[in-house]
Amino acid sequence: MILFPPAKVNLGLNVLYKRDDGYHEIKSCMAEIPLHDILEVLKADTFEFHQTGLTVDGDMESNLCVKAYRLMQERYDVGPVYLHLRKIIPMGAGLGGGSSDATYVLLALNELFELKLDDATLESLAAELGSDCAFFVRGGVQMSEGRGEVLRPMDISLEGYFMKLVYPSLHIGTAEAYENVVLNADVSGYESLVQKDFSGLVNSFEQHAFTKFPELKSIKQSLLDEGAFYAAMSGSGSSIFGLFREKPTQNDNENIWVVLM
C-alpha cells in the first residue's frame, strides 16, 4: 500500500492564551495542500522502518510514524509491517509533514488490518500523537480549535487559486515559537473567510519570527509585491506562502513550489 501524506498551511493562526494544562488555546483555519511525502506500508514478518529523502533527526522509536504504529499495536490487533517513508515535506517549516505522516500510518493500518475504525476514532488516536495530527484524517479545509484537535470542516474552496510556497531553509522549533508567541485573541477575521475575504487573518507567530529572521518578512512582502492577494507564514514557521489568482513565476529553486489548489 502506497499513500501520499499531504502538507497543510494555516490560513490564519491565533494563539489565544496558555491553558492550565500547559498547552496553548488556538484558533486556526488549516488547509491541505498538494505537496506530499510518500509512505509505503506492507504486512511483514517483522517490523521494519526505513526513511529516505530529507534527513529526519532522532532515533527510530522517536519518529512519529513509528509512534503511530506502536499506538495501534498497543490498542488493536495489528501485526508487524514494513514502513518506508520518503520525506519530501521539509521539517520545522510549519507544514505539518510529520503529523501528516503519522496520521497516514493510522489510516493505512486501519485499512490493511480491516479494523473498520471510523473517522472520529481515528481523529482521537491521532490527537494522542500530536496537536495537528487529527486534521489529516479528513484533510480539506477545517477550523481548528483547542490545542488543534477540535475540528470543524469549513465550506471554503481554494480550487482554482495558485499557491506559491517558499521554504527558506530555516528551522523554527515549536517550543521556541510558543515561548515567544505574541498572543492575539481577535478572531473576528475568520467570520469573513466563507466569503473568501482573507484580510482579517493574522498569524500570532509572525511577530517574533520576523524579528529574529527579517528575511521571512521580506519573503512575505515579495509575494504580495508579485501579486498575491494573501500571504502569511504557515504554522509556527518558517514557510511563507502566497495565494494568487493567476499563476506566479516559477524558478528552479528546490525550496520554492508553485501548486494549483
Residues taking part in catalysis: 8, 132
Q: Do strands 150-153 and 24-36 pair parallel, antiparallel, or not at all (unpaired)? A: unpaired
Instruction: Give CA–CA dist 72/70, Å, rounded.
Output: 5
φ, ψ (nearest 5 deg) of residue 219: -65, -45
- The residues pairing with 230 across neighbouring beta strands, listed in sequence order, are 243
- Taking the C-alpha atoms of residue 179 and residue 78, their distance in angstroms, rounded to an integer, is 38
Q: Is 116 exposed, middle or buried (0-12, 13-18, 19+ CB in 10 A)?
A: exposed
End-to-end CA distance of the chain: 25
CA torsion through residues 62, 64, 70, 74, sign: positive
Evaluate whether 101 touches 67 at the Cβ level (below 8 Å). Answer: no
Q: Report how far apart, in Å, the C-alpha atoms of 160 and of each of 119, 139, 189, 200 are.
A: 28, 18, 22, 22
CA dihedral 160, 161, 162, 165 (to 10 degrees): -130
Nearest-angstrom CA–CA distance, 156 and 159: 9
